[in-house]
Chain A
């Protein structure tokens, strides 16, 4: 969502946003390693890729003349003592967080699995995603709580935590905050265009008509529902309780449950 918005906001034309030709970079792809390391990722072992990823990220960050946005799925982790994301060259991080109760179904859909397995995955400290066969490097996610903690506590660069729910319910103000944090100039006209072009229904229709290159094969659609609180129709009470019992402290911290553990969305 954020990447789509930024592509639309920073576009130099008023042409319709093409969801299959976005700006910025993704540090999750083998193409990123191939291009910025000069190595063929398919000829490297996973340990070697893990060795090079922090170095490629650092080299990429320091070589840019102008700020760029780079998408990453990984938790903020270290490889052999070297942080995956370089301190020098990183101006800041926009960390997009979502209610884990809603993530469950979204994750299950994305990877073509059942709810129970998705909940288990979100509690797996060794969880990784991505394979070279699917043009992705292996990315370490950790548990949902571990992932959130890694990015929101004690990072050496500014981090703006954006709630997905705020993007949907308080769109204009949330994106204005993002623009300010990013140091981008504010342009009311570009804001209007970007907000219009990234309305969920527009994205869903575009995917229906022309597909979305980043949709996993197992997933029926990438732009699926986008609704806040959709978990109430999709998870059982026991499953909801399991997620809250596992991730309660951070859910409370980010306003997803109250003091008594009752969901707020």
Chain B
């Protein structure tokens, strides 16, 4: 984790709950997230993170949700970066972000780029903001990629000794250590590609309209359900609108059921003239 939480066995609660959701309770300064069978995470402006593990929870599972959800909430609370649900790699043209729903192939595509020698920035949380020069930049995150064993093998990575992301390998995803090809510096964003499956047979790419860009950025914000609870609805909309005017965002329609990572990588590289 990039932050140092406090651990406790005491019951965690917050006073003056103003918003509740399926996983959380919040007020203007605190958010209490409960992950069933894993832990309660109290995230406070400061920032301060307190974790109460649930009985028999593993450090592995606690860390996974801290690295994802808690990090997104911390970013949102700071009101500086928008945490996009996207992976990212660094190219000579700038950072390329890959967005898409769970299982759409984001991580496999990132792996494909890494195999071609591009530096890795992040797996599924890409914080973005407009800097003082008016450029959109993104930050690197953890030097690890979460992939299924088959996806890792298909991408040409050694699958021996891979650590599962969840205890007892309850899901088919493993950590791929990418420390050797990790870029640990902020990078200007060149283009965001949104992966979308379709039932056709052809691979295609199209630029998004402003309305479509807004929809992508709004809906692909990590921690979306917590935004209202954090009192950030207006901030989120304004920040998204600003980013939509500055970002080049394209949709890639990929045929369902086909392993098209190589073709998509080629398509993106042609698009970027790499």
Contact = CB atoms under 8 A, between A and B. Distances in A.
A135 B225 contact: no
B104 A59 contact: no
Interface in A43-102: 43-45, 48, 51-52, 55-56, 58-59, 63
Contact of B102 (A31, A48, A214): A31
Interface of B: 20-23, 35-37, 64, 68-69, 72, 85, 101-104, 124, 146, 165-166, 170-171, 173, 196-200, 219, 222-226, 228, 256-257
A40 interface: yes
Given A45-B171, A211-B199, A217-B256, A38 B102 contact: no
18 contacts: A31-B101, A35-B219, A37-B23, A38-B72, A38-B223, A38-B224, A40-B68, A43-B64, A43-B146, A48-B37, A63-B21, A63-B228, A132-B103, A134-B103, A211-B199, A215-B199, A217-B199, A222-B199
B41 to A, nearest CB: 12
B200 A211 contact: yes
A223 B250 CA distance: 29
Contact of B166 (A45, A56, A216): A45
Contacts of A134: 103, 256
Interface residues of A, number: 38
A59 B166 CA distance: 26
A29 B23 contact: no
A122 interface: no
A133 B225 CA distance: 23
A135 B104 CA distance: 7
B97 to A, nearest CB: 16
Interface residue SS majority, chain B? loop
A41 B103 CA distance: 9
A36 B101 contact: no
Contacts, number: 93
Contacts of B200: 210-211
B197 A42 contact: no
B101 A30 contact: yes
A44 B166 CA distance: 9
Interface residue SS majority, chain A? helix
B204 to A, nearest CB: 11
A39 interface: yes
Nearest to A54: B22
A155 to B, nearest CB: 22
B22 A59 contact: yes
Given A37-B23, A41-B102, A44-B171, A135 B68 contact: no
A48 B36 contact: yes
Contacts of B222: 38
Contacts of B85: 34
A42 B23 contact: no
B36 A52 contact: yes
B22 to A, nearest CB: 4
B1 to A, nearest CB: 16
A33 B102 CA distance: 10
